[in-house]
Structure 1
Amino acid sequence: MAATHFQTYLVGGAVRDRLLGLPVQDRDWVVVGASPQTLLDAGYQPVGKDFPVFLHPQTHEEVALARTERKTAAGYHGFAFHAAPDVTLEQDLARRDLTINAMAEDEAGAVIDPHGGQRDIRDRVLRHVSPAFAEDPVRILRLARFAARFADFTVAPETVALMRDMVAAGEVDALVPERVWQELSRGLMEKKPSRMFEVLRDAGALARLLPEVEALFGVPQPEAHHPEIDTGIHLLMVLDQCALQGAPLTVRYACLCHDLGKGTTRKEELPRHIAHEVRSEKLARQVSERWKVPTDCRELAELVAREHTHVHQSGAFGAEARLRLLERCDAWRRPQRFAEALWACECDARGRLGLEDRPYPQRQRLLDDLAATQAVDLAAVSAEAVARGAKGPAIGAAVKAARLRALLSFTNAA
């Protein structure tokens, strides 16, 4: 029966990861020799609008018809797809981004590798499949993300050159915020996020997408606090600390933005960076608005940019100064966000050359301060203040005084 005369292949990341000896997370399938009607007749359920994607009738996994694509306009959306029974597997693989993602596996387990993906896995190289790579600027971000995942892979020189040409041609400027954030956020969560930014920088794309980050490289800091000296190198070390500690995306994004103000320090003030926190907060907001960053990441980034220096210095603070720090961080209403801010500060402190294993007692001390002040019975304190005739701000002052007493008591007991 004609409905069964098609072939199904496992393609892309599942083949790559199996060859790398990694767990296979998602399996993508391509059908060759079929039309949409062929699959419908075989019981597949359609799910795609832009190009034919179906659900397998038994496994419910997604399968796509083999297809080619043609560039029709600038940017990510500027493509026309062609899916038909005469599209071959090799044609489908040729439209993919990297050689290591352009392999397939047939039902017998044989690998189809027309572009040398197995060779590049052996040699640990990220290489584009064809000049068509240049038609989709998202691929620059995807490659950078793969560099962060496969940290021992290098990027082929001809691929770097192609990406630079793409940047020069303005392709990166056509990227939509949602796709940029999708790839940046995924790259931040990879094993070595610093690699993503190194690759973007090498391609010239970092200066277009995140000029605030690009501006940090080559900017000196006081060697006493930053043995690595270069602010950009420090940032990369902080991001890798986040990965080592298994920090969530909110913390990693906050670390990305925490020192942005140092890129705008006047030359005559270097290597010191007076009041960079205020500038960092403003620039973090600017980056978040540009790429439509989710609210939880955005808010934490601004908080950490503004307060990280105070957190670092809090070991020398008295009880009143620590209480003011908790107030500014809205720690009682947002304890989880405060805990994440402290986590970001620890990554910042450890993202320094030779200081990666240095203890950071500020984090636990401030969490203990929060716990001590959370134990205050606010209802009882407020009721007592009202009974004394207090109103409005006077009730707030009574609460603050009670929290300060609790903090002093806790500090003295410790």
Structure 2
Amino acid sequence: MKIYMVGGAVRDALLGLPVQDRDWVVVGATPEALSAQGFVPVGRDFPVFLHPHTREEYALARTERNTARGYRGFEVRAAPDVTLEQDLARRDLTINSIAAPARNTCAKGLFEPDFEDLTDPYGGQRDLRAKVLRHVTDAFREDPVRILRLARFAARFADFSIAPETLALMRDMVAHGEVDALVPERVWQELARGLMEAQPSRMFEVLRECGALRHLLPEVDKLWGVPQRAEYHPEIDTGIHLMMVLDMAAQLGAPLPVRFACLTHDLGKGTTPAEMLPRHIGHEERSARLLKGVCQRLRVPTECREIADVVAREHGNIHRSEGLGAAAVVRLLERCDAFRKPQRFADILLACECDARGRLGLAQSPYPQRPQLLQALAAAQSVATDQVAAEALAAGQSGPQIGQRVHQARVAAVEIWQGSCTL
């Protein structure tokens, strides 16, 4: 029995990056042999075990063969005669197909990799040096999720290029309908991870380049070629602007719900009638309708869906909020449900800042609407609503009348705050 560290852990160690999760492959063993040494079985589709002390994953060397379109079925063979090279051949990219033999470090069976004796049958180290993302074998086509994974790696390693033959293979997979068979959960999983990478725009640029974006997110794909409003650098179309917004979200360290809102806030511009160009009149409501379809199709989590919906509907009003009176500001806060969910409102404002700064020449510009609306919310929150409600009840009012008095008190508080800002 021989043990090797494999996959992303080896890749990141060779790149000098922090190693997050260490994966191991075991060659020449049986499930019974690992169980006898205290490893705990956890795999359903293929034999994977947890180390009894580190809880790291150890998988038996295996081969895989796709038995259904998309990600719906694989025939897995794990046996003592499966070689390390055969196991590495089933992996997606050459940079993920390097193995480092393990050294047993103590009596507890703990292992550490030996990077002086690497097994690299598919040129992964060469591609790391050349900064190239390249598929290992033609078996890449058996799993269309790998198109999404490669696009995600392009977003993580922004200075890596894609090998021409790999891009051609991806285009061929798209042309043969492989991405159409992907299950929604896997699509969302990879998109969400890609959105959280260092340069998320590259994921969508790669998906668009190979033709997969128009199958997976046609609402986003339609944004390229759509002109921006004249005051927003019309030479930069909406698709390019969207990529700049996503990268601004990464630059500002935005969480996933904010980045998803950045991705989807302008979907309605892809369906703007010609007579409404370039002003995109009514695109907010169109964006919200299209967003609903995307969320249902990909089964997007509730938190991401709710923030994206508010941003789609209200980002224009938030951008224009500096010129709003106190009553309009409070109505905006109410539509955004800011009083019940102030942290979510802060995320909504962050998404709007990404939108405003994701434009030519504005990356370093301030976005005063964000701190101003947070201050306005604080002013409105200072209203003692219990006291207002008690006074309303004492005056014989109830229900909607109490709500109206609270609203008016908040308007008055915001009006006082606005007055103090102009002194």
The TM tier, using the shorter chain, reads: over 0.9
Aligned 1:277-356 pairs, distance under 5 A: 277-356=284-363
Partner AA of 1:200 in structure 2: L
- Deviation of residue 227 (structure 1)? 5.4
Residue of structure 2 equivalent to 1:45: 40
Partner AA of 2:29 in structure 1: A
Q: In the alignment, which of 145, 150, 153 is matched to residue 146 of structure 1? A: 153
Partner AA of 1:23 in structure 2: P
Residue of structure 1 equivalent to 2:70: 75
Are residue 132 (structure 1) and residue 132 (structure 2) matched? no
Q: Is the 8 A contact 1:222 1:229 kept in 2?
A: no
Rounded to whole Å, the distance in 1 between the matches of 2:339 and 2:233 is: 32
1:196-235 deviations in Å (ceiling 9; x for gaps): 0000001100000000000000100123123553000000
More moved, 277-286 vs 238-247: 277-286
SS at match of 2:18: coil
Residue of structure 2 equivalent to 1:267: 274
Rounded to whole Å, the distance in 1 between the matches of 2:123 and 2:53 is: 33
Partner AA of 1:221 in structure 2: Q
Are residue 87 (structure 1) and residue 82 (structure 2) matched? yes
Q: In the alignment, which of 15, 22, 26 is matched to residue 27 of structure 1? A: 22
- Deviation of residue 264 (structure 1)? 0.2
SS at match of 1:385: helix
Residue of structure 2 equivalent to 1:243: 250
1:110-162 deviations in Å (ceiling 9; x for gaps): 11111111111111110000110000010000000000000000111111111
Rounded to whole Å, the distance in 1 between the matches of 2:66 and 2:392 is: 71
Q: In the alignment, which of 11, 22, 25 is matched to residue 16 of structure 1? A: 11
Q: In the alignment, which of 149, 157, 161 is matched to residue 164 of structure 2? A: 157
- Deviation of residue 78 (structure 1)? 1.7
Rounded to whole Å, the distance in 2 between the matches of 1:314 and 1:55 is: 54
More moved, 329-338 vs 234-243: 329-338
Q: In the alignment, which of 207, 213, 228 is matched to residue 221 of structure 1? A: 228
SS at match of 1:106: strand
- Deviation of residue 323 (structure 1)? 1.1
Aligned 1:91-240 pairs, distance under 5 A: 91-107=86-102, 108-109=114-115, 110-226=117-233, 229-240=236-247
SS at match of 1:70: strand
Q: Is the 8 A contact 1:228 1:353 kept in 2?
A: no
- Deviation of residue 397 (structure 1)? 1.2
Rounded to whole Å, the distance in 1 between the matches of 2:277 and 2:416 is: 42
SS at match of 1:224: helix
SS at match of 2:311: helix
Q: In the alignment, which of 404, 408, 423 is matched to residue 401 of structure 1? A: 408
Residue of structure 2 equivalent to 1:370: 377
Rounded to whole Å, the distance in 2 between the matches of 1:78 and 1:203 is: 24
Q: Is the 8 A contact 1:227 1:352 kept in 2?
A: no
**Percent of pairs identical after alignment?**
68
TM-score using structure 1 length: 0.97
Rounded to whole Å, the distance in 2 between the matches of 1:96 and 1:223 is: 48
- Deviation of residue 280 (structure 1)? 0.6
Q: Is the 8 A contact 1:228 1:352 kept in 2?
A: no
Q: Is the 8 A contact 2:6 2:100 kept in 1?
A: yes
Rounded to whole Å, the distance in 1 between the matches of 2:33 and 2:2 is: 12
- Deviation of residue 173 (structure 1)? 0.8
TM-score using structure 2 length: 0.95
Partner AA of 1:399 in structure 2: V
Q: Is the 8 A contact 2:326 2:412 kept in 1?
A: no
More moved, 390-399 vs 28-37: 390-399
SS at match of 2:231: coil
Cα RMSD of the aligned pairs, angstroms, is 1.0
1:243-275 deviations in Å (ceiling 9; x for gaps): 000000010000101000000011232222001
SS at match of 1:358: coil
1:29-83 deviations in Å (ceiling 9; x for gaps): 0000111112122222211111001122343321000000112111112211000
Rounded to whole Å, the distance in 1 between the matches of 2:254 and 2:155 is: 15
Q: Which runs of 5+ in 2 are unaligned?
A: 103-113
Q: How many aligned positions are there? A: 409
Rounded to whole Å, the distance in 2 between the matches of 1:228 and 1:98 is: 37
Rounded to whole Å, the distance in 1 between the matches of 2:76 and 2:410 is: 64
Rounded to whole Å, the distance in 1 between the matches of 2:365 and 2:255 is: 21
Partner AA of 1:103 in structure 2: I
Q: Is the 8 A contact 2:200 2:250 kept in 1?
A: yes
Rounded to whole Å, the distance in 1 between the matches of 2:186 and 2:272 is: 31
Rounded to whole Å, the distance in 2 between the matches of 1:273 and 1:194 is: 23
